[in-house]
Amino acid sequence: MRTHYPVVIVGAGPAGLLLSHLLHLQGIESIVLESRSREAVESTIRAGVLEQGTMDILNETGVGERMRREGAVHHGIELAFGGARHRIALTELTGRAITVYAQHEVIKDLIAAREAVQGEILFDVSDVSVHDVDSAQPSVQFVVDGQTRRLTCDFIAGCDGFHGVCREAIPSDVREEYQRVYPFGWFGVLVEAPPSSDELIYAAHERGFALISTRSPMVQRMYFQCDPSERAETWSDERIWHELHTRTESDDGWRLKEGRIFQKNVVAMRSFVATPMQHGRLFLAGDAAHIVPPTGAKGMNLAVADVWRLARALDDFYHRDTEDALKGYSAAALKRIWRAEHFSYWMTRMLHRLDDASPFEQKMQRAELEYVVSSRAASLTLAENYVGLPLA
């Protein structure tokens, strides 16, 4: 059994899988270690919105074929408040668009691409620990099929999400963490129904935020703001529809189409950044280093941007004999991350019901919404962040 790889990647989410794919295209071998089963990884329902830059990377690296066929390209989004809907014309304003294509479909496409070239992904591993990241030869120990194994490598990529183990391997005296936990969550449902709208609707209502998104011509994704400790299984379908209808209704008579609800879940909301994203030969990417609230649809896109940068830096190391890009990885990645953190925070504050806000602050929130939908400059600010700022 092989015991050394140039790069060991912990985590088979979008970050880890895309990194292994990009490295393969550059002729750099890697192995991916994942604690969950393949089935679990391929079926976890999460993100849906891909920025233009994410689409471009998937297309240019040969894994965009199904996304082009099954994903839906959207040229605008709608902001609903005060009984009216207002369109933000993303493409008219920026020349760019977004694609709605589920994260677990991206994951399936990446796993298929790795399999096609015998790329190694070990599922169901446990007890992963990383060692000697300060040395020229770090290693990763884990258990698979009841056997303890240890792999040495040149680099470890910590792509193991917010609850992973890699971030903790950066010593606490050099690691800084910035965090905000929001006093609300999102209640998410999957519904068997045709789309109610051609574009995503972000609704701000006195009862709280709601989002109408889509997955396919027959499956719709909807969310509404709730208490973060809410237990999804205790909510009847009737109660869910009541919240969704109330928060999205508009004066023009438009009404959400109902259907069978076949999945319910509640997600908590936080903003989080750990810096630096590198220590010795350990590099963090994606949710392992940062979390955004989902309102800006940035989480998976940031993970993609991180590994795109990391893959290029590793290419420089192996093929151009320079470590400059690796040394600059954390600082360069964090510029984009802080921008996305601000955008996600701003969208969240603007669109959610804020129980801690004074009446004055509530008026400020409405004034901001009115401005965003009426000023070209303000709409453009939202649009250029939503479709994603250029990567380089």
Residues with a catalytic annotation lie at 74, 202, 294, 298, 386
The gap from C-alpha 91 to its chain's centroid, in whole angstroms, comes to: 22
Q: Minimum Å distance from CB 311 to ligand PHB?
A: 26
In the chain, % helix, strand, coil (3-state, to 5) comes to 40, 30, 30
User: Which 3 state secondary structure label does DSSP give 71?
Assistant: coil
Q: Which of residues 265-294 bind ligand PHB (CB under 6 A)?
A: 294
Nearer to ligand PHB, 317 or 386 (CB): 386
For tokens 């891909």, name the residue.
Answer: 50
Interface pattern 43-72 for ligand PHB (x via CB under 6 A): ----xxx-----------------------
Write down the least CB distance from residue 340 to ligand PHB, Å: 12
| Partner touching 287 among ligand PHB, ligand RFL, none, CB below 5 to 8 Å by kind | ligand RFL
Decide if residue 221 touches ligand PHB (CB under 6 A): yes
Q: Which stretch binds ligand RFL (CB under 6 A): 9-17, 73-81, 83-91, 368-376?
A: 9-17
Report in angstroms how near the CB of residue 294 gets to ligand PHB at its nearest.
Answer: 4
Residue 189 phi/psi, 5-degree rounding, is -130, 150
Cβ partners under 8 Å of residue 358, min gap 6: none
From 10-18, 41-49, 242-250, 271-279, give the range in contact with ligand PHB by CB under 6 A. 41-49
Residues 353 and 206: beta-carbon distance below 8 Å: yes
Choose from ligand RFL, ligand PHB, none: what does 191 bind? Cβ within 5-8 Å by kind.
Answer: none
CB of 12 to ligand RFL, least distance (A): 5
- Alpha-helical segments (H) within 90-221: 90-94, 103-116
**Residue 219 near residue 191 (C-beta atoms within 8 A):** yes
Beta strands in 52-146 (DSSP E): 72-74, 77-81, 84-88, 98-100, 120-122, 126-131, 139-144
Contact (Cβ atoms closer than 8 angstroms) between residue 97 and residue 49 = no
Assess contact for 94 and 217: CB atoms under 8 A: no
Q: How far is the CB of 141 from ligand RFL (least distance, A)?
A: 11
Please report, as ranges, the residues that interact with ligand PHB according to CB under 6 A: 47-49, 200, 211, 213, 221, 294-295, 297
Please report, as ranges, the residues that interact with ligand RFL according to CB under 6 A: 10-16, 33-36, 41, 46-49, 103, 125, 128, 159-161, 163-165, 186, 188, 267, 286-287, 294, 297-301, 303
